[in-house]
Amino acid sequence: MTGLPKEHMEQDGFVLPYGDHQNDGLVQVSFTLPVKDGPLGDEAARQVMRSMALKEPQVVESTPLGEGYTFFVGYGKLTRPVELAKLKVARPLWDKLEPQAIERTIRERLGREIVVVGAATGSDAHTVGLDAILNYKGFAGDHGLEAYSGFKVVNMGSQVPNEALVQRALEVKADAVLVSQVVTQGNVHLSNLTNLVELIEAEGFRDRVVLVAGGPRITHALAIELGYDAGFGPGTKPQDVASYLAQEVSKRKSLYSNRAF
């Protein structure tokens, strides 16, 4: 939808990026091209921005990144607004609780510890995010699940085969399984995430475990699409995950109250 008067866009539910003033559509972009730094490279960068539908593209910085590669920073204007009323958002269905409320929810609604097993699976060796959520220390002043009396945490670390994770979840009668995965640009790790779901379903306890995926490119919508119950991406804090698990596991209490695996 183009040509809509900017003064009417916000009140009609249409938005453009904010740069210098309301709805001017100004955005900053950055990218690397396999070209030498110079006039030809700058023009290639401007053409890339035009292909992004950016008007009035400007290259404001170009930095050589070794032979034949250049990093560009540019500005341009978007002219096609987004209509908010047409957006469909996969909204997480839980409320963020304070730590005391999390403990109270588990104690009053479940009456026992929530058993959580977490791992970075397959070839994934990145555990910073997983440890931040599970370990007592947490991050940014937000303690991990180990700090709560209502959680029993089993952190299996990195490069854990899906089969080993499933077996461990069965052994400890896990209420929740947390999978940390750095999905590459080629999406090669998505098959590993779906394989875990298939293994849990094959063992017959999918309906009795809360399955959560997390990572820098994980979204709630992607996790749902892959068969998980929830997805947590960048910016997630331990309190977010603790709040979700306290409410979701309690809600499913009737499904596996005997925890007969």
Residue 261 lies in a domain: no
Mean pLDDT of the chain: 89
Q: Are residues 116 and 221 in the same domain?
A: yes
Residue 179 lies in a domain: yes
Report the CATH number at residue 240.
3.40.50.280
Q: Are residues 71 and 195 in the same domain?
A: no
pLDDT of 254 strictly over 80: no
Q: Are residues 19 and 131 in the same domain?
A: no
Q: Are residues 154 and 249 in the same domain?
A: yes
Confidence of residue 261 (pLDDT cuts 50, 70, 90): very low
Residue 260 lies in a domain: no
pLDDT of 190 strictly over 60: yes
pLDDT at 4: 47
Q: Are residues 75 and 153 in the same domain?
A: no
Q: Which whole number is the average pLDDT over 171-193?
A: 85
The helix (H) or strand (E) run that includes residue 58 is strand 55-64
pLDDT at 111: 93
Please confirm, yes or no, whether 96 is among the known catalytic residues.
no
Domain count, the chain: 2
Confidence of residue 29 (pLDDT cuts 50, 70, 90): very high
| Domain limits for position 77 | 6-86
Residue 74, CA atoms < 13 Å, CB-side half-sphere: 25
The helix (H) or strand (E) run that includes residue 40 is helix 39-51
Residue 94 lies in a domain: no
Say what angle helices 162-171 and 190-203 make with each other, to 10 degrees: 40
pLDDT of 160 strictly over 50: yes
Q: Are residues 73 and 117 in the same domain?
A: no
Q: Which whole number is the average pLDDT over 55-62?
A: 96
Q: Are residues 81 and 103 in the same domain?
A: no
The helix (H) or strand (E) run that includes residue 15 is strand 14-15
The helix (H) or strand (E) run that includes residue 116 is strand 114-120
Of these residues, 86, 96, 137, 251, which one is catalytic?
A: 137
Q: Are residues 222 and 137 in the same domain?
A: yes
pLDDT of 88 strictly over 80: no
* pTM attached to this predicted model: 0.69
pLDDT of 89 strictly over 80: no
| Residue with more model confidence, 74 or 217 | 74
Last residue of a domain, one of 33, 61, 86: 86
Q: Are residues 51 and 79 in the same domain?
A: yes
Residue 157 lies in a domain: yes
Q: Are residues 28 and 110 in the same domain?
A: no
Q: Are residues 64 and 159 in the same domain?
A: no
106-132: pLDDT as tens digits: 999 999 999 999 999 988 888 899 999
Report the CATH number at residue 56.
3.30.30.60
Report the distance separating Cα 47 and Cα 65, nearest Å.
20
Sequence-distant (6+) residues with CB within 8 A of 49 are 29, 57, 74, 76
Q: Are residues 156 and 185 in the same domain?
A: yes
Residue 1 lies in a domain: no
